[in-house]
C-alpha cells in the first residue's frame, strides 16, 4: 500500500511538473510548428513565409507554411486545434470582417488569441492595361457610361478587397460587377489575362505586378498618400471620404493557448521583423513592418470590427 501511494504521488507530481512546464512554455517548442494561411501567392502567403523562415532559425524548430485557400478554411483548420502553440494562423482582415457578412464556424474574437501584427499594407486600385483609363476620374466616367459592364475581382466574401470594391461602388455612384475568386493566385492570373478588368490588390501583391507592368495602378485606397508608393494619388482625391482599410497580416493561436507561449511567439516574431533583410524584403514589396504587443493587436481588431460594421451597414454591402 505504501509503495502504491508513493507511485501515485510520483505520477501526480510528474503531471503537475509537466503541466507547469506547458503553461510556462519552458520546453516550447520541442517539435515542428504549422503556420496555416490562405492560398499560395497572396499577401498572407508572402508574409507567412518570411515569418516562418525567421522563426525556424530563432526557435530551433521547423515552421511549416500550410496553405488552405481562402474564406473560412484557414481559420477552421486552426480554431479547434490544441491550444499548445504548434498550430498557428496567419490571416488578414477577412478573419474578423468576413463574419460581419456571413455565418462563420468560429467567433473571430472568442476563438483566437492574437499574437502579433507583423505587417500593414494599403490597398491599391489597379486595372488591366487594356482598360482605357489612367485615373480614378476616368474610371468613374467609363463605369457610369456603361453601368454593369465593368467588373472587379476579389477573393472571399467579406475580404478587404471585396469591401473596398463595394465601398467604391457606393461612394462613386457606379455599378461595377464583382467576380469572386477562391484563391488570390487565380484572381491575379485572370486580371493579368484580361478576364477581369480591375481590383483592389493589397500593396504587396500590387507592387509585384506593377513592377512587371502587367497592371496599371490608378490610386491608393488609404485616406492619405502612401510613402511606399510615391506619386500615386488616393482614391479620396476623386471620391471624398473614401478609405479602404489597409490589409493587416496577423498571427493567431487557438484561444486558451498559454500566455507564456503567446508572449514567446510575439517576442520572436517582432525580432524577425526587425531583421534588416526582412525589413528590406517587406519594403521592396510595398509592405510596412509593424510588430507590437498582443494587446495592441487585439485592440486594433476590435476597433476595425466596430468601424467596418458601420461601413457595411451604411453602404448596404451584402452577400450576393
pLDDT digits 0-9 by tens, 290-302: 999 999 999 999 9
Question: What is the CATH number for 68?
Answer: 3.40.190.150
Asked if residue 150 is part of any domain, the answer here is yes
Asked if residue 24 is part of any domain, the answer here is yes
In the predicted structure, residue 261 carries a pLDDT above the cut 70: yes
In the predicted structure, residue 111 carries a pLDDT above the cut 60: yes
Q: Are residues 106 and 251 in the same domain?
A: yes
**Mean pLDDT lowest for which of 3-7, 67-71, 267-271?**
3-7
Tell me, what's the pLDDT at 237? Answer: 97
Question: 242: alpha, beta or left, given left = phi > 0 and alpha = psi -120 to 50?
Answer: beta
Which residues does 49 contact at the CB level (< 8 Å), separation at least 6? 65
Beta bridge partners of 288: 120
Mean pLDDT over 266-273 rounds to: 97
In the predicted structure, residue 150 carries a pLDDT above the cut 80: yes
The domain boundary residue, chosen from 245, 261, 296: 245
Q: How confident is the model at residue 24 (pLDDT cuts 50, 70, 90)?
A: low
Q: Are residues 170 and 194 in the same domain?
A: yes
Question: What is the CATH number for 128?
Answer: 3.40.190.10
- Kindly list the distances between the CA atom of residue 149 and the CA atoms of 6, 133, 143, 144, 176, in Å, as whole numbers in the listed order: 80, 15, 8, 10, 7
Sign of CA dihedral 66, 70, 73, 74: positive
Asked if residue 1 is part of any domain, the answer here is no
Q: Are residues 83 and 222 in the same domain?
A: no
**Mean pLDDT lowest for which of 5-14, 107-116, 216-225, 286-295?**
5-14
Q: Are residues 72 and 185 in the same domain?
A: no
**Mean pLDDT lowest for which of 17-26, 48-57, 109-118, 246-255?**
17-26
- When mean pLDDT is compared over 4-13, 99-108, 186-195, 260-269, the highest value belongs to 260-269
Report the C-alpha gap between 65 and 89 in whole angstroms: 9
Report the C-alpha gap between 285 and 301 in whole angstroms: 24
CB 214 within 8 A of CB 193: no
Asked if residue 295 is part of any domain, the answer here is yes
Can you read off the three cell numbers belonging to residue 221?
485606397
Q: Are residues 69 and 108 in the same domain?
A: yes
Q: Are residues 59 and 149 in the same domain?
A: no
Q: Are residues 190 and 110 in the same domain?
A: no
The domain boundary residue, chosen from 245, 271, 296: 245
Which residues does 240 contact at the CB level (< 8 Å), separation at least 6? none
Q: Are residues 90 and 136 in the same domain?
A: no
At 54 the three-state DSSP class reads helix
In the predicted structure, residue 141 carries a pLDDT above the cut 80: yes
Tell me, what's the pLDDT at 41? Answer: 79
Tell me, what's the pLDDT at 25? Answer: 59
Mean pLDDT over 9-36 rounds to: 66
Report the C-alpha gap between 272 and 57 in whole angstroms: 10
Tell me, what's the pLDDT at 126? Answer: 97
Total number of domains constituting the chain: 2
CA end-to-end span of the chain, whole Å? 70
At 243 the three-state DSSP class reads coil
In the predicted structure, residue 320 carries a pLDDT above the cut 70: no
Q: Are residues 140 and 235 in the same domain?
A: yes
Which residues does 123 contact at the CB level (< 8 Å), separation at least 6? 160, 161, 164, 200, 201, 202, 203, 206, 220, 221, 222, 244, 245, 246, 247
State phi, psi for 91 to the nearest 5 degrees: -140, 160
Asked if residue 292 is part of any domain, the answer here is yes
Q: Are residues 30 and 115 in the same domain?
A: yes
Sheet holding 151-154, edge to edge: 177-180, 151-154, 198-202, 123-127, 216-220
Higher pLDDT, 205 or 118: 118
Helices (H), the chain: 2-24, 43-59, 73-79, 94-97, 136-145, 160-172, 184-193, 203-211, 259-273, 276-284, 294-315
Which residues does 178 contact at the CB level (< 8 Å), separation at least 6? 151, 152, 153, 154, 162, 165, 166, 320
Q: Are residues 211 and 176 in the same domain?
A: yes
The pLDDT mean for the chain works out to 89
Higher pLDDT, 319 or 181: 181
Tell me, what's the pLDDT at 23? Answer: 52
Domain that includes residue 85, residue range? 8-120+247-314
Q: Which of 209, 78, 107 is nearest to 153 (CA)?
A: 209
Asked if residue 319 is part of any domain, the answer here is no
Residue appearing with cell numbers 490608378:
218
Asked if residue 3 is part of any domain, the answer here is no
Entry pTM: 0.80
Higher pLDDT, 279 or 3: 279
Asked if residue 320 is part of any domain, the answer here is no
Mean pLDDT over 170-195 rounds to: 91
Q: Are residues 251 and 241 in the same domain?
A: no
The domain boundary residue, chosen from 205, 229, 245: 245
Amino acid at each position: 500500500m505504501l509503495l502504491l501511494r508513493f507511485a501515485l504521488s510520483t505520477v501526480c507530481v510528474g503531471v503537475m511538473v509537466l503541466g507547469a512546464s506547458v503553461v510556462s512554455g519552458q520546453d516550447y517548442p520541442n517539435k515542428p510548428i504549422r503556420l496555416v494561411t490562405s492560398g499560395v501567392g497572396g499577401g498572407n502567403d508572402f508574409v507567412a513565409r518570411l515569418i516562418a523562415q525567421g522563426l525556424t532559425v530563432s526557435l530551433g524548430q521547423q515552421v511549416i507554411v500550410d496553405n488552405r485557400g481562402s474564406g473560412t478554411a484557414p481559420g477552421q483548420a486552426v480554431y479547434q486545434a490544441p491550444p499548445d502553440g504548434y498550430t498557428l494562423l496567419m490571416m488578414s482582415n477577412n478573419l474578423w470582417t468576413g463574419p460581419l457578412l456571413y455565418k462563420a464556424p468560429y467567433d473571430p474574437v472568442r476563438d483566437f488569441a492574437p499574437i502579433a501584427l507583423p505587417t500593414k499594407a494599403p490597398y491599391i486600385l489597379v486595372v488591366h492595361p487594356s482598360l482605357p483609363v489612367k485615373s480614378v476620374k476616368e474610371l468613374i466616367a467609363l463605369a457610369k457610361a456603361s453601368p454593369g459592364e465593368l467588373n472587379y475581382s476579389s477573393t472571399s466574401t467579406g475580404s478587404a478587397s471585396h469591401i473596398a470594391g463595394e465601398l467604391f461602388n457606393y461612394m462613386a455612384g457606379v455599378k461595377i460587377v464583382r467576380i469572386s475568386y477562391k484563391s488570390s493566385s487565380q484572381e491575379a492570373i485572370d486580371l493579368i489575362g484580361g478576364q477581369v478588368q480591375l481590383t483592389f490588390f493589397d500593396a504587396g501583391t500590387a507592387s509585384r505586378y506593377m513592377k512587371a507592368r502587367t497592371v496599371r495602378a490608378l490610386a491608393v485606397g488609404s485616406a492619405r498618400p502612401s510613402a511606399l508608393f510615391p506619386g500615386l494619388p488616393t482614391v479620396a482625391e476623386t471620391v471624398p471620404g473614401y478609405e479602404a482599410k489597409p490589409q493587416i497580416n496577423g498571427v493567431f493561436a487557438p484561444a486558451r493557448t498559454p500566455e507564456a507561449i503567446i508572449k514567446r511567439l510575439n517576442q520572436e516574431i517582432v525580432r524577425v521583423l526587425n531583421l534588416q533583410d526582412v525589413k528590406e524584403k517587406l519594403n521592396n514589396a510595398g509592405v510596412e513592418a509593424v510588430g507590437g504587443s498582443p494587446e495592441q493587436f487585439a485592440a486594433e481588431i476590435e476597433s476595425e470590427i466596430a468601424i467596418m460594421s458601420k461601413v457595411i451597414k451604411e453602404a448596404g454591402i451584402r452577400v450576393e
